[in-house]
Structure 1
Amino acid sequence: MGFEVGGLFALLILIADIGAIVQIAQSKAAPGNKALWIVLVLVLPILGLVIWFMLGPRAVKI
């Protein structure tokens, strides 16, 4: 049962990382900053994802 839970966790992290990369690519940040964020998310999948959601550009609130 441990393998299934681990696989599910890995799949959820992968989906979240892909979502973060899409958000990074669509952000209004400079291209160099986008590249650095994407590398951070790819190299450190969990930590990079958390850092992006905490420190990344925010959407404009109406």
Structure 2
Amino acid sequence: MFSLEVSGLLGLIVLAFNIYAIIKIVQSSAGTGIKVLWVLIILLLPVLGLILWFLLGPK
């Protein structure tokens, strides 16, 4: 039962970071195509997409 609470909490943390990343992407000055690509990556691959955006996205 404890593991369910931890995974739920980790899922909530990942969701919060994904929402933050998507907001930052939409507010950025990048082109529309790049924004759409990053949002799709984050939506389709939540953890990996977030890591990739953190490493490669913001300059």
TM-score by length of 1: 0.90
Asked if 1:44 is matched to 2:45, the reply is yes
Q: Deviations over 1:6-33 (max 9, x none)?
A: 1000000000000000010011110011
TM-score by length of 2: 0.95
2:9 match: 8
1:21 match: 22
Residue-pair matches, total: 58
**CA RMSD for the aligned pairs?**
0.6
SS of residue paired to 1:48: helix
Q: Deviations over 1:8-62 (max 9, x none)?
A: 000000000000000100111100110000000000000000000100132xxxx
Percentage of pairs with the same residue = 48
